[in-house]
Structure 1
């Protein structure tokens, strides 16, 4: 398959649409892809669709983070051993592994819209069940169900972000996909803000309710998304066109993209690109996609392993390793998320169209490796200066995560494959990423109890491994018209 990219300047003209116009003629799925790649019209709903997709990412992050602070209270209430704490902590990622495996396939098979709305229901039911859990078994089961929703959501959310954005310029596909990162950190910060507010309001003898309220609150944003879905969310026009439904794609372009598209069919039927199949998982390792798949999964797995250990263990690190009290632990976790992770994520979005994903990811991993080695060398800080340095190094790790692998692990996962493979590609990526998360969430409580601050030596292996693979495979997805690969055979035939 050829990987010839279509220059952004040719996107609109090739579809029969003059620059600046809001009218177009579409004769094939390729025309629909070119219109979308050229950018939405002013005043369209495309940005709202992207915002709602990011709302799904917000839910994923909130639900994954919401157990972090309360895990000590849960262990005490249910009399859990460190191994049992690891299982409860990892239940959500066990669910996410299965959810990603099936979610990627279903996203390509039945469409983005249906899967997105189904996973919102998982979030509502699971959040309420977790908040009311009478024992660790019910809590683990609810978190598993919640994880299944997370696994379903990420492939479809990444598809929406990629398929409602332009190829080049400000707000391009890479920037839109990278926006998942600040959305993620906004969710973790919201979680800590909620915990801080509850900590201030609840009487001391009722603080055991804090983790329950925090978990149950995850149902609220899911209900909001369900309430607004019918007005703004629609199917991806590129996906619809790839199924042969050009009329449906034209309606979506009008509704969500602000483009009046007229379908002109020739004698030949509309071409349907690669159909969804479980065999497409094998396509991820053909000559065209093998190196991209290896790079995307390595970045994602390494990022997830290290990040989950740090962000989930952040309250434990601050409270135990740095010997701080509950209020200081909450405030420090919130501050680190906002000042370092969230700001880093915004930088990742802004630099995606200009600097690119490869350079920012390599730089981020380098900063993470240095920060973890510094934390391992400091150990238990004995003075105020060393405590400040340790917190700064934690911030450095989160800052590198924000602008580097945090932003661009999904850029690589979503933009290494065209529309026909995107759901499968992200689903496979997330299956491996969530496997790494599961190992990380299970091992961190065990290793932290056994190794103390020496656990940072183990975590440092993750960014180092990913950095080495980045140096070996220099694939840059930002600014590349990846969806044109679905139509490369047609274009090559036309040129010949």
Structure 2
């Protein structure tokens, strides 16, 4: 009898939330649960697409609305400012009212905001619409990461770390699709309607959100781990049967989890159990935010301003770099996530990014030499590749796997809010810095690759992939540990 067939016949008695978590950690990947993973990744796709759309279109927006450098920074940072609000709201609501309701409300908001932004008659409507789109992006990531973690097993093929790392290639797939849409519209739109290039690319972002709304009833469910932590064991057991093909029966002798009695807030992230984890995650997110905004978001501007490329060359080069380096790096990150520790992959990624940025700063303006131009583009590719398999993939593994289910939304939301603050600052100051420092900007940003190497490599060595936090009880002090050991001995 196969392992899967045996699983279908075996009945598991459920007494507590920990029993639900342990079953999922061991057996997830059966039945419809994989469909939930793909729906969560489509949510990540929408996030990335919406954040990418104006990375090329910002030049058209500047021309259409006659923006100053300061107003350019306001337009560019509006969506990221929205993510800060969305991360905090989404993280709280994801833990408070559940994953499903937050996810579906967010998809509706995506559709409305994308259409309004694409049809914006003036810059102020665009700013407001992009801010609302940012709220949608911010709300989505905590719930999407919760789904990816709570519908995956801890070890083996397709484990939690690998599925969480999959957010990165999905992110760059969305970036690639975005520039593919821009490239298609570039050839399809008549010259007199070329100003609609950025508008139509924004509106297209509503399509995948509509897809999720239409098929939600067939595949999407609430997280059984979240339900169990709310004391709703029977509903959790029903989902195990319908979505995982796991036969589970709720015991009459239920054990009320200590987690249910605790009211969690953002302050819990700074207690002695989670403080070091929070510091590591925050360092990663700030470092990635400044680097990603410089290289990935402003990549079209770098190619246009510093490398003096034409519009068509800028689009095709950006598309090629994302597909050849960032996306393939992300796929490698998924492979490495299930085989190497998160910490080691992160350090390697940051080291390569540091070297690439130092090289770009040393090369400076490569327009006078075709060889230097190719080397500079190669260094941009190296940075994107390192981002894909290293920090890009692992930055969501850390907060998602470091915090248990009852505070996972809060943890991911807080760290993404930190990212939002860092990105908002960088989106505002980078256009000004680029005008002032030109290619020296690369040497300045290299600092954000160097700091996490020191912190993660030598100071705080927490590794989130060593144990499944959903299947163990976090102990805050020695007294609790002693009590547990005494109970175990008895």
TM-score range, shorter chain: over 0.9
Distance 1:274 1:308, change over 3 A: farther
1:93 to 2:80 alignment: yes
Report the counterpart of residue 349 of structure 1 in structure 2. 334
Deviation digits for residues 358-390 of structure 1, max 9, x if unmatched? 111100001111101111111110111000000
Report the counterpart of residue 83 of structure 1 in structure 2. 70
- Once the two structures are TM-superposed, the CA of residue 280 in structure 1 deviates from its matched residue by 2.5
Report the counterpart of residue 462 of structure 1 in structure 2. 448
Report the counterpart of residue 286 of structure 1 in structure 2. 271
Report the counterpart of residue 13 of structure 2 in structure 1. 25
Report the counterpart of residue 469 of structure 2 in structure 1. 482
1:153 to 2:146 alignment: no
Task: State how 1:267-278 maps to structure 2 within 5 Å.
Answer: 270-271=256-257, 273-274=259-260, 277=263
1:316 to 2:290 alignment: no
Cα RMSD of the aligned pairs, angstroms, is 1.8
- Partners of 2:466 and 2:337 lie apart in 1 by 9
Asked if 2 retains the 8 angstrom alpha-carbon contact of 1:420 and 1:486, the reply is: no
- Partners of 2:90 and 2:244 lie apart in 1 by 26
Q: 1:232 aligns with which of 210, 214, 219?
A: 219
- Partners of 1:467 and 1:280 lie apart in 2 by 30
- Partners of 2:351 and 2:195 lie apart in 1 by 40
1:211 to 2:204 alignment: no
Distance 1:238 1:486, change over 3 A: farther
| Of 440-449 and 26-35, the range deviating more from structure 2 | 440-449
- Partners of 2:173 and 2:375 lie apart in 1 by 25
SS at match of 2:399: helix
Distance 1:105 1:493, change over 3 A: farther
Distance 1:21 1:404, change over 3 A: farther
Task: State how 1:261-410 maps to structure 2 within 5 Å.
Answer: 261-266=248-253, 270-271=256-257, 273-274=259-260, 277=263, 280-381=265-366, 382-410=368-396
Q: How many residues align?
A: 478
| Of 64-73 and 251-260, the range deviating more from structure 2 | 251-260
- Partners of 1:421 and 1:355 lie apart in 2 by 26
- Partners of 1:435 and 1:329 lie apart in 2 by 28
Asked if 1 retains the 8 angstrom alpha-carbon contact of 2:87 and 2:416, the reply is: yes
Report the counterpart of residue 187 of structure 1 in structure 2. 174
Asked if 1 retains the 8 angstrom alpha-carbon contact of 2:9 and 2:247, the reply is: no
- Once the two structures are TM-superposed, the CA of residue 482 in structure 1 deviates from its matched residue by 1.4
Q: 1:419 aligns with which of 401, 405, 408?
A: 405
- Partners of 2:93 and 2:419 lie apart in 1 by 19
| Of 200-209 and 471-480, the range deviating more from structure 2 | 471-480
Asked if 1 retains the 8 angstrom alpha-carbon contact of 2:231 and 2:260, the reply is: no
Asked if 1 retains the 8 angstrom alpha-carbon contact of 2:230 and 2:260, the reply is: no
Asked if 1 retains the 8 angstrom alpha-carbon contact of 2:29 and 2:152, the reply is: no
SS at match of 2:270: coil
SS at match of 1:284: helix
- Partners of 1:23 and 1:41 lie apart in 2 by 18
1:495 to 2:470 alignment: no
SS at match of 2:54: coil
- Partners of 1:84 and 1:216 lie apart in 2 by 22
Task: State how 1:57-68 maps to structure 2 within 5 Å.
Answer: 57-68=44-55
Identify unmatched segments of 5+ residues in structure 2: none
Deviation digits for residues 96-131 of structure 1, max 9, x if unmatched? 001101111111110111111111111101000000
Identify unmatched segments of 5+ residues in structure 1: 1-11
Alignment TM-score, normalising by the size of structure 1: 0.93
SS at match of 2:249: strand
- Once the two structures are TM-superposed, the CA of residue 352 in structure 1 deviates from its matched residue by 0.8
- Partners of 1:350 and 1:391 lie apart in 2 by 26
Distance 1:434 1:22, change over 3 A: farther
- Once the two structures are TM-superposed, the CA of residue 21 in structure 1 deviates from its matched residue by 5.2
